[in-house]
Chains A and B, each alone.
Chain A
């Protein structure tokens, strides 16, 4: 896994806010952030609110231009990509958002939602729309017979599966998950995490997994970048960041995660084994 798919160098994003009496003040949300995503791996970006993790994701998704820094995808500078280059990038890089209901058009059927990325790219699926939709739905564990239903007819977990299926519709090389499982109940969350892991095993794409929940990140990430105050304070393989954290902030963050009494947990497992 030395094959770099995407690399971000010194990404910086400054926002200018205008307060009362027109006073301008500048706020640096992302401050010189560099990271690389290899093919087939999951890079998790963790941090608390205001750490700059979501802004970083938005820059990589090209929903936002960085104030400074460069973004390279497959050895091509895409920092200011436009036209055909941008369209190609948008096909290769897909996003799954936190709230499936607000990111799915409520007036469109599942089929129309799943076909939208292909329509945008001007691709007609071989075998027809219906078959393609059905196949996608099956991959994410949805009943293909429900292709003509609307988002509101699905539960939160199922709606998130639609969001994932839409991201996969154009065979992306990178999927950005922005707090994609944060809003889900734990049992549903576990299923969606399983699904994300399986899809990666099957298709070999990469994830940038933005999350605040360290336990979830530990479950899914190969490498972890810890952000605080717009900067990456620590970056490394999962084992290192979780078991041997170098930065004091990472240690604080890990120590704050609530845990089930380990002795009770051990007894429960011994009893079920």
Chain B
């Protein structure tokens, strides 16, 4: 990251502030991201603060342009060139804002992983999926080829790919969209990171496949105690997976609370409007709707 702004807190003070820090995996405080544009700098994330505990899923929900993806890219140190970041992002008590490229590369994949909407653009089409998982493992944890191969087979098995031994030798295009997302999840979790950021991971999938992937993520999270940030535009998906919810609108954090609070007693008018506008599968249809 270039053009790093001032940090609100010293990384050392976080580690020193007591044992409760350790139960919190990710602490984001007053995060602001400013992007340079032809019309001058524009703040795309404004003063966002939230916490992710171990084994917890925090949902970030918002419409397009709300800044939800920029928030996740800022955490991962993947913002576009020239972006300015202020505030604080602490993972396991370590301040991430201000870390150099090399240090962030060590953290990405090992301590914090990310999966995206389109797995095909994140996988290398020229290498078998087995090799890609092996490389990911060895880059961070080392070990022999043989050991990495075993890990790759186990990783595919864990995400429910049938015949994992044989499938490690296949290329990304030989898998369906849902299977590719499973492979991305396998790769993201192969180094047992504490944090997984999932950015619209089920948006491009069919609804039945989406349900399977959501179940898989929830199961894996229970087993591995991974903290998860789940970014989506879909409130119903958030309702089924998140313990805490952050609602964003135009870069601002409009609402933050437990899922129960946000869905049953939203404080902000924007959240209420959003909740009212989604069509539901179970609603009583009101009089103004189509009648036969």
Contact = CB atoms under 8 A, between A and B. Distances in A.
Are A and B genuine complex partners? Answer: yes
A259 B207 contact: no
B239 interface: yes
A237 interface: yes
Contact of A190 (B214, B277, B292): B277
B230 to A, nearest CB: 12
Interface stretch (A17-25, A71-79, A263-271): A263-271
A260 B273 contact: no
A261 B239 contact: yes
Contact of A212 (B206, B237, B239, B279): B206
Chain A interface extent, by class: 35 or more
Contacts of B64: 156, 185
A272 B264 CA distance: 10
Interface in B251-292: 259-260, 263-266, 272-282, 285, 288-290, 292
Interface of A: 1, 42, 48-49, 156, 185-190, 193, 197, 212-216, 218-222, 237-239, 242, 252-265, 267-268, 271-272
B208 A218 contact: no
Contact of A214 (B234, B275, B281): B281
A215 B263 contact: no
Contact of B206 (A42, A48, A188): A48
A193 B285 CA distance: 14
Interface residues of B, number: 39
Nearest to A197: B290
Q: Tell me whether chain B's interface is mostly helix, strand or loop, or mixed.
A: helix
Contacts of B276: 190
Contacts of A218: 279-281, 285
B210 interface: yes
16 contacts: A186-B274, A186-B278, A187-B63, A187-B274, A197-B290, A214-B207, A218-B279, A220-B290, A254-B281, A256-B208, A258-B237, A259-B239, A259-B281, A260-B239, A260-B263, A272-B272
B139 interface: no
B235 interface: yes
A268 B265 contact: yes
Contacts of A188: 63
A268 B264 contact: yes
B233 interface: yes
